[in-house]
Amino acid sequence: MGNRSFIFVLLALAVVGLLGFGMIANGSATIAVGEPTPDAEIERLGGEETASIADYRGQWVLVNFWASWCKPCELESPAIEEYSQAHNGDVVVLGVNTRDLTEDAEQFIADNGLTWEMLHDGDGSLSDSFGSVALPESFLVDPEGNLALIRRGPVDEAYLEQNVTPLIEANGGAGA
Amino acid sequence: MRRRPRTSTASLLTLLAALLLAVAPHAAAQVPGGSSDATLPDIEDEVMCPICGTLLGLSESPQANAERAFIQRRIVEGMSKQEIKDALVAEYGPEVLATPESSGFDLAAWIVPALGLLLGAMAVAIGARRWRREGRNSGGPGASAAPPPDPAAGDEARLEADLGRYNL
Protein backbone atom coordinates (compact mmCIF):
# COMPACT_ATOMS: atom_id res chain seq x y z
CA MET A 1 0.00 0.00 0.00
CA GLY A 2 1.45 3.33 -1.04
CA ASN A 3 1.77 6.33 1.21
CA ARG A 4 -1.17 8.06 -0.45
CA SER A 5 -3.47 5.06 -0.06
CA PHE A 6 -2.46 4.74 3.58
CA ILE A 7 -3.29 8.40 4.25
CA PHE A 8 -6.60 8.03 2.41
CA VAL A 9 -7.58 4.98 4.51
CA LEU A 10 -6.53 6.82 7.67
CA LEU A 11 -8.70 9.82 6.74
CA ALA A 12 -11.66 7.59 5.91
CA LEU A 13 -11.30 5.83 9.28
CA ALA A 14 -11.16 9.20 11.06
CA VAL A 15 -14.39 10.34 9.35
CA VAL A 16 -16.18 7.08 10.19
CA GLY A 17 -14.92 7.32 13.78
CA LEU A 18 -16.18 10.88 14.12
CA LEU A 19 -19.59 9.97 12.71
CA GLY A 20 -19.81 7.00 15.06
CA PHE A 21 -18.86 9.13 18.04
CA GLY A 22 -21.50 11.70 17.06
CA MET A 23 -24.18 9.01 16.88
CA ILE A 24 -23.21 7.55 20.25
CA ALA A 25 -22.97 10.97 21.90
CA ASN A 26 -26.43 11.89 20.63
CA GLY A 27 -28.04 8.74 21.96
CA SER A 28 -29.82 8.84 25.32
CA ALA A 29 -28.33 7.24 28.39
CA THR A 30 -29.77 3.94 29.48
CA ILE A 31 -30.73 3.24 33.05
CA ALA A 32 -32.05 0.12 34.76
CA VAL A 33 -33.72 -0.88 38.00
CA GLY A 34 -31.14 -1.43 40.75
CA GLU A 35 -28.71 1.13 39.34
CA PRO A 36 -27.84 4.37 41.16
CA THR A 37 -29.94 7.32 40.00
CA PRO A 38 -28.34 10.31 38.33
CA ASP A 39 -28.14 13.06 40.91
CA ALA A 40 -27.16 16.20 39.04
CA GLU A 41 -27.82 19.45 40.88
CA ILE A 42 -30.50 21.52 39.12
CA GLU A 43 -32.57 24.61 39.93
CA ARG A 44 -35.74 24.52 41.93
CA LEU A 45 -38.66 25.68 39.79
CA GLY A 46 -39.05 29.45 40.03
CA GLY A 47 -36.23 29.82 42.52
CA GLU A 48 -32.54 30.55 42.65
CA GLU A 49 -31.74 27.54 44.85
CA THR A 50 -30.60 24.22 43.47
CA ALA A 51 -31.37 20.68 44.56
CA SER A 52 -30.71 17.12 43.49
CA ILE A 53 -32.29 13.74 44.02
CA ALA A 54 -29.33 12.93 46.28
CA ASP A 55 -30.69 15.49 48.77
CA TYR A 56 -33.51 13.02 49.53
CA ARG A 57 -31.31 10.05 50.51
CA GLY A 58 -32.95 8.05 53.26
CA GLN A 59 -36.41 8.56 51.77
CA TRP A 60 -38.40 6.95 49.01
CA VAL A 61 -38.68 9.42 46.13
CA LEU A 62 -41.11 9.28 43.23
CA VAL A 63 -39.48 11.37 40.50
CA ASN A 64 -41.96 12.52 37.87
CA PHE A 65 -40.75 14.21 34.66
CA TRP A 66 -43.35 16.51 33.13
CA ALA A 67 -43.90 19.67 31.08
CA SER A 68 -46.76 22.13 30.76
CA TRP A 69 -47.07 21.43 27.02
CA CYS A 70 -47.53 17.70 27.67
CA LYS A 71 -51.22 16.73 27.71
CA PRO A 72 -50.74 13.27 29.28
CA CYS A 73 -48.78 15.00 32.08
CA GLU A 74 -51.86 17.08 32.83
CA LEU A 75 -54.08 14.02 32.73
CA GLU A 76 -51.95 12.08 35.22
CA SER A 77 -51.31 15.01 37.59
CA PRO A 78 -54.47 14.58 39.77
CA ALA A 79 -53.50 10.96 40.47
CA ILE A 80 -49.99 11.96 41.54
CA GLU A 81 -51.31 14.83 43.64
CA GLU A 82 -53.72 12.50 45.40
CA TYR A 83 -50.99 9.89 45.90
CA SER A 84 -48.56 12.42 47.34
CA GLN A 85 -51.11 13.52 49.90
CA ALA A 86 -52.28 10.02 50.77
CA HIS A 87 -48.70 8.77 51.24
CA ASN A 88 -47.21 11.89 52.75
CA GLY A 89 -44.38 10.77 55.01
CA ASP A 90 -43.86 7.48 53.18
CA VAL A 91 -42.72 8.87 49.87
CA VAL A 92 -41.54 12.23 48.58
CA VAL A 93 -43.01 13.15 45.22
CA LEU A 94 -40.50 15.22 43.27
CA GLY A 95 -41.63 16.78 40.01
CA VAL A 96 -39.02 17.62 37.40
CA ASN A 97 -40.30 20.17 34.93
CA THR A 98 -38.44 19.45 31.72
CA ARG A 99 -37.70 21.58 28.63
CA ASP A 100 -40.33 24.08 29.65
CA LEU A 101 -40.72 27.77 30.43
CA THR A 102 -40.90 28.60 34.14
CA GLU A 103 -43.96 30.82 33.86
CA ASP A 104 -45.86 28.19 31.81
CA ALA A 105 -44.89 25.55 34.39
CA GLU A 106 -46.04 27.75 37.28
CA GLN A 107 -49.34 28.36 35.52
CA PHE A 108 -49.74 24.61 35.02
CA ILE A 109 -49.10 24.01 38.73
CA ALA A 110 -51.64 26.65 39.72
CA ASP A 111 -54.25 25.39 37.24
CA ASN A 112 -53.92 21.81 38.46
CA GLY A 113 -53.48 22.58 42.16
CA LEU A 114 -50.22 20.67 42.50
CA THR A 115 -48.46 20.82 45.86
CA TRP A 116 -45.45 18.54 45.47
CA GLU A 117 -41.85 19.76 45.20
CA MET A 118 -40.65 20.86 41.78
CA LEU A 119 -37.28 21.17 40.08
CA HIS A 120 -36.63 22.85 36.73
CA ASP A 121 -34.67 20.87 34.13
CA GLY A 122 -34.81 23.54 31.40
CA ASP A 123 -32.23 22.00 29.06
CA GLY A 124 -33.45 18.45 29.71
CA SER A 125 -30.03 17.26 30.92
CA LEU A 126 -31.40 15.40 33.96
CA SER A 127 -34.18 13.89 31.88
CA ASP A 128 -31.57 12.74 29.33
CA SER A 129 -29.45 11.15 32.04
CA PHE A 130 -32.51 9.09 33.02
CA GLY A 131 -32.72 7.92 29.40
CA SER A 132 -36.05 9.67 29.05
CA VAL A 133 -37.65 9.21 25.64
CA ALA A 134 -41.01 10.94 26.13
CA LEU A 135 -43.12 12.65 28.75
CA PRO A 136 -44.42 11.89 31.28
CA GLU A 137 -42.09 9.38 32.90
CA SER A 138 -41.82 8.36 36.55
CA PHE A 139 -38.99 6.73 38.50
CA LEU A 140 -39.13 5.37 42.04
CA VAL A 141 -35.88 5.86 43.92
CA ASP A 142 -35.20 3.84 47.07
CA PRO A 143 -33.68 5.35 50.26
CA GLU A 144 -30.19 4.25 49.15
CA GLY A 145 -30.54 6.21 45.92
CA ASN A 146 -31.05 3.24 43.60
CA LEU A 147 -33.78 2.92 41.03
CA ALA A 148 -36.62 0.70 42.21
CA LEU A 149 -39.15 1.23 39.41
CA ILE A 150 -39.28 2.79 35.95
CA ARG A 151 -42.54 3.88 34.36
CA ARG A 152 -42.31 5.28 30.84
CA GLY A 153 -45.72 6.85 30.25
CA PRO A 154 -48.52 8.27 32.40
CA VAL A 155 -49.58 6.78 35.72
CA ASP A 156 -52.98 6.60 37.40
CA GLU A 157 -54.19 5.80 40.92
CA ALA A 158 -54.36 2.08 40.21
CA TYR A 159 -50.82 1.93 38.82
CA LEU A 160 -49.38 3.82 41.78
CA GLU A 161 -51.18 1.70 44.37
CA GLN A 162 -50.37 -1.59 42.65
CA ASN A 163 -46.75 -0.88 41.76
CA VAL A 164 -45.32 1.85 43.96
CA THR A 165 -47.04 1.22 47.31
CA PRO A 166 -46.02 -2.47 47.60
CA LEU A 167 -42.35 -1.61 47.05
CA ILE A 168 -42.43 1.07 49.74
CA GLU A 169 -44.36 -1.07 52.21
CA ALA A 170 -42.21 -4.13 51.60
CA ASN A 171 -39.18 -2.10 52.54
CA GLY A 172 -40.68 -0.53 55.63
CA GLY A 173 -41.84 2.82 54.24
CA ALA A 174 -39.85 6.00 54.60
CA GLY A 175 -36.22 5.71 55.56
CA ALA A 176 -36.22 1.92 55.56
CA MET B 1 -45.60 98.36 22.82
CA ARG B 2 -47.95 95.74 24.25
CA ARG B 3 -47.05 93.24 21.51
CA ARG B 4 -43.61 92.58 22.91
CA PRO B 5 -44.72 90.38 25.85
CA ARG B 6 -46.94 88.31 23.47
CA THR B 7 -43.98 87.69 21.17
CA SER B 8 -41.78 86.66 24.03
CA THR B 9 -44.48 84.24 25.31
CA ALA B 10 -44.74 82.72 21.84
CA SER B 11 -40.98 82.39 21.65
CA LEU B 12 -40.91 80.79 25.08
CA LEU B 13 -43.61 78.32 24.06
CA THR B 14 -41.75 77.47 20.85
CA LEU B 15 -38.54 76.95 22.82
CA LEU B 16 -40.36 74.75 25.31
CA ALA B 17 -41.90 72.67 22.54
CA ALA B 18 -38.52 72.28 20.87
CA LEU B 19 -37.00 71.22 24.17
CA LEU B 20 -39.79 68.69 24.75
CA LEU B 21 -39.32 67.25 21.26
CA ALA B 22 -35.61 66.95 21.82
CA VAL B 23 -35.96 65.27 25.20
CA ALA B 24 -38.94 63.04 24.39
CA PRO B 25 -37.05 60.16 22.64
CA HIS B 26 -34.51 59.92 25.47
CA ALA B 27 -37.25 59.99 28.07
CA ALA B 28 -39.11 57.20 26.28
CA ALA B 29 -35.95 55.12 26.12
CA GLN B 30 -35.47 55.40 29.87
CA VAL B 31 -38.99 54.34 30.83
CA PRO B 32 -38.92 50.74 32.09
CA GLY B 33 -41.04 48.60 29.82
CA GLY B 34 -40.61 51.08 27.02
CA SER B 35 -40.21 50.22 23.36
CA SER B 36 -37.74 47.48 22.36
CA ASP B 37 -35.74 47.31 19.16
CA ALA B 38 -36.17 43.53 19.17
CA THR B 39 -38.67 41.84 16.87
CA LEU B 40 -40.01 38.31 16.89
CA PRO B 41 -38.89 37.47 13.32
CA ASP B 42 -35.40 38.75 14.13
CA ILE B 43 -35.08 36.50 17.19
CA GLU B 44 -36.96 33.52 15.73
CA ASP B 45 -34.21 32.71 13.27
CA GLU B 46 -31.46 32.85 15.90
CA VAL B 47 -32.95 30.54 18.52
CA MET B 48 -34.04 26.94 18.57
CA CYS B 49 -37.25 25.28 19.62
CA PRO B 50 -35.47 22.83 22.00
CA ILE B 51 -38.35 20.38 22.12
CA CYS B 52 -38.82 20.31 18.34
CA GLY B 53 -35.07 20.24 17.64
CA THR B 54 -35.48 22.81 14.85
CA LEU B 55 -35.05 26.52 14.40
CA LEU B 56 -37.92 28.29 16.16
CA GLY B 57 -38.90 30.07 12.95
CA LEU B 58 -39.44 26.71 11.25
CA SER B 59 -41.67 25.16 13.90
CA GLU B 60 -45.41 25.46 14.35
CA SER B 61 -45.78 23.14 17.34
CA PRO B 62 -47.59 24.27 20.53
CA GLN B 63 -44.20 24.26 22.31
CA ALA B 64 -42.79 26.61 19.70
CA ASN B 65 -45.82 28.86 20.05
CA ALA B 66 -45.29 28.96 23.82
CA GLU B 67 -41.70 30.03 23.22
CA ARG B 68 -42.90 32.70 20.75
CA ALA B 69 -45.35 34.00 23.36
CA PHE B 70 -42.48 34.15 25.88
CA ILE B 71 -40.40 36.23 23.43
CA GLN B 72 -43.36 38.46 22.58
CA ARG B 73 -43.99 39.18 26.27
CA ARG B 74 -40.34 40.17 26.73
CA ILE B 75 -40.53 42.48 23.71
CA VAL B 76 -43.60 44.18 25.20
CA GLU B 77 -41.67 44.55 28.47
CA GLY B 78 -39.04 46.46 26.51
CA MET B 79 -36.21 43.93 26.66
CA SER B 80 -33.47 44.11 24.06
CA LYS B 81 -32.73 41.23 21.71
CA GLN B 82 -29.71 40.16 23.76
CA GLU B 83 -31.68 40.31 27.03
CA ILE B 84 -34.38 38.11 25.50
CA LYS B 85 -31.80 35.61 24.28
CA ASP B 86 -30.24 35.59 27.77
CA ALA B 87 -33.68 34.94 29.27
CA LEU B 88 -34.17 32.01 26.88
CA VAL B 89 -30.76 30.60 27.85
CA ALA B 90 -31.75 30.89 31.53
CA GLU B 91 -34.86 28.82 30.76
CA TYR B 92 -33.59 26.23 28.30
CA GLY B 93 -29.80 26.35 28.61
CA PRO B 94 -27.29 27.41 25.94
CA GLU B 95 -28.62 24.82 23.48
CA VAL B 96 -31.51 27.18 22.73
CA LEU B 97 -29.14 29.40 20.77
CA ALA B 98 -28.98 28.52 17.08
CA THR B 99 -25.58 30.16 16.72
CA PRO B 100 -22.70 29.29 19.06
CA GLU B 101 -21.34 31.84 21.53
CA SER B 102 -18.19 33.72 20.59
CA SER B 103 -16.40 32.71 23.79
CA GLY B 104 -15.24 29.55 25.57
CA PHE B 105 -15.49 26.19 23.83
CA ASP B 106 -18.15 27.53 21.43
CA LEU B 107 -15.47 29.75 19.92
CA ALA B 108 -14.16 26.60 18.22
CA ALA B 109 -17.30 26.56 16.05
CA TRP B 110 -16.18 29.87 14.54
CA ILE B 111 -12.43 29.19 14.45
CA VAL B 112 -12.42 25.67 13.00
CA PRO B 113 -14.30 26.50 9.74
CA ALA B 114 -12.15 29.61 9.25
CA LEU B 115 -9.04 27.51 9.84
CA GLY B 116 -10.37 24.90 7.41
CA LEU B 117 -10.96 27.59 4.81
CA LEU B 118 -7.45 28.94 5.32
CA LEU B 119 -5.89 25.46 5.06
CA GLY B 120 -7.97 24.76 1.95
CA ALA B 121 -6.83 27.98 0.32
CA MET B 122 -3.22 27.16 1.20
CA ALA B 123 -3.60 23.65 -0.26
CA VAL B 124 -5.08 25.10 -3.48
CA ALA B 125 -2.26 27.65 -3.73
CA ILE B 126 0.44 25.03 -3.14
CA GLY B 127 -1.25 22.62 -5.58
CA ALA B 128 -1.52 25.31 -8.27
CA ARG B 129 2.12 26.26 -7.84
CA ARG B 130 3.25 22.66 -8.08
CA TRP B 131 1.01 22.07 -11.12
CA ARG B 132 2.48 25.09 -12.89
CA ARG B 133 6.02 24.00 -12.08
CA GLU B 134 5.41 20.45 -13.34
CA GLY B 135 3.67 21.77 -16.45
CA ARG B 136 6.60 24.05 -17.20
CA ASN B 137 9.04 21.15 -16.87
CA SER B 138 7.04 18.69 -19.00
CA GLY B 139 5.56 21.16 -21.48
CA GLY B 140 2.07 20.26 -20.34
CA PRO B 141 -0.95 22.52 -20.10
CA GLY B 142 0.61 24.49 -17.29
CA ALA B 143 3.65 25.38 -19.36
CA SER B 144 4.15 28.96 -20.38
CA ALA B 145 3.48 29.77 -24.05
CA ALA B 146 6.82 29.17 -25.80
CA PRO B 147 7.29 29.62 -29.59
CA PRO B 148 6.65 26.35 -31.48
CA PRO B 149 9.84 24.65 -32.64
CA ASP B 150 10.69 24.80 -36.33
CA PRO B 151 9.77 21.60 -38.11
CA ALA B 152 12.79 19.66 -39.12
CA ALA B 153 13.71 19.76 -42.78
CA GLY B 154 12.80 16.07 -43.21
CA ASP B 155 9.36 16.60 -41.72
CA GLU B 156 8.71 19.48 -44.08
CA ALA B 157 9.58 17.39 -47.12
CA ARG B 158 7.36 14.55 -45.92
CA LEU B 159 4.46 16.93 -45.41
CA GLU B 160 4.85 18.28 -48.93
CA ALA B 161 4.91 14.74 -50.34
CA ASP B 162 1.73 13.80 -48.43
CA LEU B 163 -0.09 16.91 -49.57
CA GLY B 164 0.91 16.20 -53.15
CA ARG B 165 -0.23 12.58 -52.87
CA TYR B 166 -3.73 13.56 -51.78
CA ASN B 167 -3.95 16.46 -54.28
CA LEU B 168 -4.75 18.90 -51.53
For residue B6, name the pLDDT band (cuts at 50, 70, 90). Answer: low
CA-wise closest residue to B79 among B41, B47, B39 = B39
For residue B161, name the pLDDT band (cuts at 50, 70, 90). Answer: confident
A residues 87-146 lying closer than 8 A (beta carbon) to B: 99-104, 122-125
**Secondary structure tally for chain B: helices H, strands E:** 6, 2
Q: What is the mean pLDDT of residues B82-111?
A: 84
How far lies B54's CA from each of A131, A135, B97, B131, in Å? Answer: 21, 19, 11, 45
Contacts of B85 (CB under 8 A, 6+ apart): B43, B46, B47, B97
CA dihedral sign of residues B105, B111, B112, B113: positive
Task: Please indicate, yes or no, whether the overall pTM of this predicted structure exceeds 0.90.
Answer: no
Query: Quick check: A172 pLDDT over 90?
Result: no
Q: Which H or E element spans position A154? A: none
How confident is the model at residue B157, as a pLDDT? 86
Who has greater pLDDT, B16 or B52?
A: B52
* ipTM of model: 0.70
Q: What is the mean pLDDT of residues A25-53?
A: 86
Query: Quick check: A140 pLDDT over 60?
Result: yes
Q: What is the mean pLDDT of residues A45-62?
A: 93
Range of weakest confidence among A39-48, A94-103, A138-147: A39-48
B-chain residue closest to A99, CA distance: B92
> How many Å lie between the alpha carbon of B28 and the closest alpha carbon of chain A?
28
Pairing of strands A42-44, A117-121: antiparallel
Q: What is the mean pLDDT of residues B154-168?
A: 83
Tell me which of B54, B63, B112 to substitute to probe the interface with A (most A C-beta atoms closer than 10 Å).
Answer: B63
